Structure 1
Amino acid sequence: MKSKPDRKWFGYTAFVLSFPYPMLKIYWSLGGTLGGGQSFSQHSAYGEILVFGACALLSLALVQKWGRIFPRWVPFFAGKKIPRFILITGGWVAACLTVPMGFLAIFGYLMQAIGLADGPVSFDGTGLMVFIVYGEWLLLGIALGGATLAYQHQTRVKCVKCGGI
């Protein structure tokens, strides 16, 4: 009988890809100017940092055994198994939010670069930063989707009536 290939690398890849964007936002919030910088006088980067931190935790929860049990500090659920649908829904929602955002930004960048559309991106270091940042979002979404799909296959339960999956 053939064993199923281990697809944990999707989750670990998603974990690693969850850090460049928030780290760039932290750098900019501290006054960094690489890639154009950004002013945080009107808003902060906290929301984006929290969202990508949640992506990092979710990506590990999909591939680690500890990620399937609520931590002790969670009221009423401490030590109990996390329902499968929560991880699956979270994984697909995160993937479905990051893939299109990354794809559309890269598509717009390329259309502007070849002259088929006008857009807000300048083609100096700032434009390249946009391409890199949103390319990372696209890869993050693909990795999260892969980790979620692998988790679904790994945790699939057998049908009580027919014995199939």
Structure 2
Amino acid sequence: MNEKTNHLKTQTERLTAFEQWAKKAVWPAYLGCFWAVMYAVFVRFYQAAGGTLGLPGQPEDPKMMYMASYIAGVLIMTCGFILIGLVKPWGRVVPTWVPFIGGKNIHFLIILIPTLFCTAYLMAHGIGGMITKALHLAGVITLHFNGWVSLDVHSMVLWSLLFYEPWFLTMGILSGLTAAHYALASGISLSAFRRILAIFISFVSLLTIYCVFSIIFQLS
């Protein structure tokens, strides 16, 4: 066994169980893409077409809401396909048709940083939303939703708690696992990966606290 093989074996042995798993696992990207496409098509595009399931009320400006749902659907679907790029070779190299820089490798931080920010938003949105909706149902706070002529608040809260917010959290987890795979597969040092992970967890915690307090004090 040569020196290079011994070095690679030593690096592998230093990986934690999660890091070994994340470095090999690509299925979160495919499941995340599927999760995003299904939500975009059967929720956002459905609502953009005038569907009312999951919207227990009458919006003040239906056209604006339909357009917002359509734009959100396009963005969500795009984000889903971006996850696939994180586990494919074509997501690491600039397309050859791009002038001057075509064919060059993409520095992993260029993709990793925005992915982590989006992941943090998804997770904080889901966790913060579930906390505030649960507090509302428990009678601790009272939520009010702007932009509606009439609204069944209880039904909206249940839809959010049991459907919308869990989707955000699940999408955030899948996106985070994909980002971890991308970072480890890109050759990042373990010390750097662990520092980024610690910073990310701290950021998600702070962002979740901010979301909870902003919802309570702005909407209660």
Give the TM-score normalised by the residue count of structure 2. Answer: 0.62
Match of 1:155 in 2: 186
CA distance in 1, matches of 2:131, 2:188: 39
- Rg (Cα) greater in structure: 2
Quick check: 148-157 or 114-123, which moved more? 114-123
Q: Is contact 2:33–2:77 with CA below 8 Å preserved after alignment?
A: no
Match of 1:32 in 2: 51
Match of 2:90 in 1: 66
Q: Is contact 1:18–1:55 with CA below 8 Å preserved after alignment?
A: yes
CA shift digits 1:61-120 (9 cap, x unpaired): 111222222334544433332221112112211101111111111111111112211113
Match of 2:31 in 1: 13
Q: Aligned to 1:35, what secondary structure does the other structure show?
A: coil
Q: Aligned to 1:81, what secondary structure does the other structure show?
A: coil
Distance 1:138 1:73, change over 3 A: farther
Q: Is contact 1:70–1:82 with CA below 8 Å preserved after alignment?
A: yes
Report the AA paired with residue 28 of structure 1. Answer: Q
CA distance in 2, matches of 1:51, 1:96: 16
Report the AA paired with residue 25 of structure 1. Answer: R
Report the AA paired with residue 119 of structure 2. Answer: A
Report the AA paired with residue 41 of structure 1. Answer: K
- Quick one: percent identity of the two aligned structures? 22
Match of 1:115 in 2: 139
CA distance in 2, matches of 1:73, 1:49: 28
Q: Root-mean-square deviation (CA), in Å?
A: 2.5
Report the AA paired with residue 126 of structure 2. Answer: G
Unmatched 5+ residue regions in structure 2?
1-8, 14-19, 146-152, 190-220
Report the AA paired with residue 42 of structure 1. Answer: M
Match of 2:63 in 1: 41
Distance 1:65 1:116, change over 3 A: same
Q: Is contact 1:11–1:63 with CA below 8 Å preserved after alignment?
A: yes
Match of 2:129 in 1: 105
Structure in which a larger fraction of residues adopt helix: 2
Q: Aligned to 1:31, what secondary structure does the other structure show?
A: coil
Match of 1:139 in 2: 170
Q: Aligned to 2:127, what secondary structure does the other structure show?
A: helix
Distance 1:98 1:157, change over 3 A: closer
Report the AA paired with residue 169 of structure 2. Answer: L
Q: Is contact 2:40–2:73 with CA below 8 Å preserved after alignment?
A: yes
Aligned residue pair count:
157
